[in-house]
Amino acid sequence: MPRRANATARLVMFVLLMLVVSSSLTCATTLQIWIESSSTKSFLEQFYMPEFGKAYPDTEIEFLIYPLQEVFDRLVAGVVTGSGPDIISTGNTTVFNLSNVGLLMPIDRYLAEWDGYSAVWPGAWFNQRFDGVTYGIPMYSAARGICYRADAAREVGLDAERPPQSWIELREWARRLTRVENDRLLRAGYVLQGNDYQEWVFWLNQAGGALISEDLRTPTFNSKAGAEAISQMLELVRVSRFQDLGSPPATGARGLASDAVGMVIGNSGTLNSVLAADRAAAESMRIFAPRKDPESPPVALTFTDGWAIPATAKNPDLAWAFLRGLMDRKMAAQLINSLGRIVPRKDLVSLITVPHYLLGYRLLEHFVPYPTLPEGAWLGTAFRQEFTKVMRGELSPEAVLSGLETGYIPRLREYWQSVDHNK
């Protein structure tokens, strides 16, 4: 992305003014919206469009489905042709990547007049801003906690309604939930979620650490907290025996449903997957935000997707009206109950009718935003490669973090030089 930033920013600045002027001379009544899935489209058409149509009867909605990874190039192409959407759906990193090259419209002027702003969990705005300016509105927050089955916990004498209150207790739970017969691992007390980098960030935040400084210019992961997070992962692997005995019969949601996994990081979507596999198992599911020790706060590391208005939108006021209505309290609850996508409003408990979605929603009380950072893809890939060496005993956690910092700093510096050059 940084290597394209110079050319993209110049192109946006060259064309944007002419597009804004020309669009002000037209009275377009078609609102074009880029969405990421057919399920979102179906929901909007069934539940939201009738209400929006009553308020704006002369407006037609055009939905186009595009994967999030295509949005950048398509927006740039639209700058050239003078075409493009009025609203786009965004992922956890989209706002950061698009706003720093001028492709998104600031929406703070709309938020200042919106009475629903204070109803949104504060952490949900974190990845909707860049350089102090808000460009997106948070719509779906997937808070991650640790999932477990209450019946499995009771089976080994654990208090199923009092989840672990420290890393030490969590490791003891993992040890007791692990079941081995004839050197075969029948149930791993804990399994890694599949993305070692994201798992590490999960534990890093509980240890009081962070990947990067608040201004996103200085890496901070090479720290005591960073090493402690890796060590916690290694200990959970050790006591759960899947490194020395091999993987359990199933992992993730399938592992929970089949009782092959005792605990795993997950969210409301994980619970939904267990429900689809085994309804009886789903009724026993629990999820909690873990903490390093009783004195430290619980942490639910949260990924937030949303919506944004492109800088070249022809109908920005109408676009904002669409988004404001979608964030209405009753509509937000309908979105949760219909699709399981947790809208980060604080006032929805009484309106959520699906029990396992309510479990995922309550994790937002411990909301910690998953960080967006420059060159995050490089750091994630590099960590996953180095973590395998730690698992094999070839490197210490401290050596891994030192090496990652050495490789990351020049990439971070190059990124910001590119962005600052275009300001």
79-135 pLDDT per residue, tens: 767 788 999 999 988 898 898 888 999 999 999 999 999 999 999 999 999 889 999
Could you tell me how many residues make up the chain? 423
Number of H helices, E strands in the chain: 19, 12
Evaluate whether 306 touches 90 at the Cβ level (below 8 Å). Answer: yes
What's the pLDDT tens digit per position in 10-46? 554 544 444 444 444 345 489 999 998 999 999 999 9
Kind plus residue range of the DSSP H or E element containing 146: strand 136-149
Residue with tokens 């109950």: 337
Name the E strands within 309-392.
367-369
The residues facing 61 across adjacent strands are 31
pLDDT for 23 equals 44
Give per-residue pLDDT as tens, 157-179: 999 999 999 999 999 999 999 99
Measure the CA–CA gap between 133 and 122, rounded to whole angstroms.
15
- What span, in angstroms and rounded, lies between the C-alpha atoms of 342 and 64? 23
Q: Are 159 and 153 in contact (CB under 8 A)?
A: yes
Angle at Cα 286 formed by Cα 283 and Cα 287, nearest 5°? 145
d(Cα 348, Cα 302) in Å, to the nearest integer?
18
For the chain, the average pLDDT equals 91
Q: How far apart are CA 252 and CA 242, in angstroms?
A: 14
Give CA 39 to chain center in angstroms.
19
Question: In this structure, are residues 250 and 261 in contact, taking their beta carbons and an 8 Å threshold?
Answer: yes
Distances (CA, A) of 423 to 80, 100, 132: 21, 9, 14
The DSSP line for 95-112 is HHHHHTTT-B---HHHHT
Q: β-strand 285-288 against 263-266: which pairing, if any?
A: unpaired
CATH class of the domain comprising 2-142+304-369: alpha beta
The domain limits of the chain are: 2-142+304-369, 143-301+373-410
Q: What backbone phi and psi angles, to 5 degrees, belong to 375?
A: 55, 35
**DSSP secondary structure of 14-81:** HHHHHHHHHHHT----EEEEEES-HHHHHHIIIIIHHHHHHH-TT-EEEEEE--GGGHHHHHHHHHHH
The span from the CA of 201 to the CA of 401, in Å, is: 13
pLDDT of residue 222: 98
Name the helix (H) or strand (E) containing 11. helix 2-24
pTM over the 0.95 mark: no
Residue 194: per-residue pLDDT: 85
Q: How many percent of the chain have pLDDT more than 70?
A: 93
**How distant, in Å, are the alpha carbons of 78, 167, 288, 373 from that of 293?**
51, 6, 14, 28
Across 246-255, 348-357, 366-375, 398-407, the highest mean pLDDT is recorded for 398-407
Average pLDDT rounded to a whole number, residues 305-323 = 95
User: Residue 90's beta-bridge partner residues?
Assistant: 306
What is the per-residue pLDDT for 9? 52
Which CATH fold would you assign to the domain 143-301+373-410? D-Maltodextrin-Binding Protein; domain 2 (3.40.190)
Q: Are strands 30-35 and 60-65 parallel, antiparallel or unpaired?
A: parallel
Strand partners, 60: 30
The answer to whether the 2-142+304-369 and 143-301+373-410 domains have the same CATH topology is yes
